[in-house]
Amino acid sequence: MENYSKVELLALIKTYNKKNTNNKIINIDKLKKKELYDICLQYSLITSSKSLDNEINFNNVPKDHLIQNIEIHFLKKNKKIPREFIKMNKKELIDFIQLNNVQHYTPEMLKKEIKFYEEKDLYKRIIIYNIMKYDNIDTTNINNHEEFVKKNKLDTDLKFVNEYAILLKTLYDAFDTFCDSTGLEYDRNNKKSFPKIIELLKTISR
């Protein structure tokens, strides 16, 4: 039962009522979540599994919840949800969800999914940060980011990660400008890091 919110259970029953006008389930707005859940089981609107068996009426789902579903949809593609979705009205969000087969999540499922992808993104950022700052990581055999970070005892202090990234970009931009002006060549396809740029700067100071 914890996999369904009261709103979702109501939505399932209301969808059923629209399709079965002669056999409506009445007085549902006054029922408790457990009572709604039992009715949904009784009418086979859900099973005891975690999946939702009938299509949710998204008009009964809060807008914030719709946006969270879309957010996870993009997270699974390693993308951030575009800002324009925040400004969309409910109909536009529902249209996107239905057109792109966006999976529907209960509030409990949402929390678990968001936590999972936030942690996954965190460990990827830690790996990138360590490459950038120390350049001492072999990334060819990373199967599990969390295990890799812990096994290799990587630096997890990301307090100034943005500042480091800006500084590194500034150094490389300046060095690229210098190379373009002087005709100096170097492998620009290498992963950028502080140890690499320091070595490159040494080559022009000798």
Q: How many domains does the chain have?
A: 3
Residues 99 and 127 in one domain: no
**pLDDT for 152-176, tens place per residue?**
999 999 999 999 999 999 999 999 9
Q: Model-level pTM?
A: 0.54
Q: Does 14 map to a domain?
A: yes
Closest CA to 134 of 112, 161, 95, 94: 161
Residues 20 and 90 in one domain: no
- Non-local (6+) Cβ contacts of 126 within 8 A are 145, 149, 154, 155, 156, 158
Whether the CA torsion 39, 44, 50, 55 is positive or negative: it is: negative
Q: Does 54 map to a domain?
A: yes
Supply the range of the domain harboring residue 89. 62-105
Q: Does 206 map to a domain?
A: yes
What the block records as the tokens of 49 is: 């599994």
What average pLDDT is seen over the chain? 85
Q: Does 112 map to a domain?
A: no
Residues 155 and 196 in one domain: yes
Report which of residues 199 and 80 the model is more confident about: 199
CA atoms within 13 A of residue 12's CA, in its CB half-sphere: 24
Q: Does 114 map to a domain?
A: no
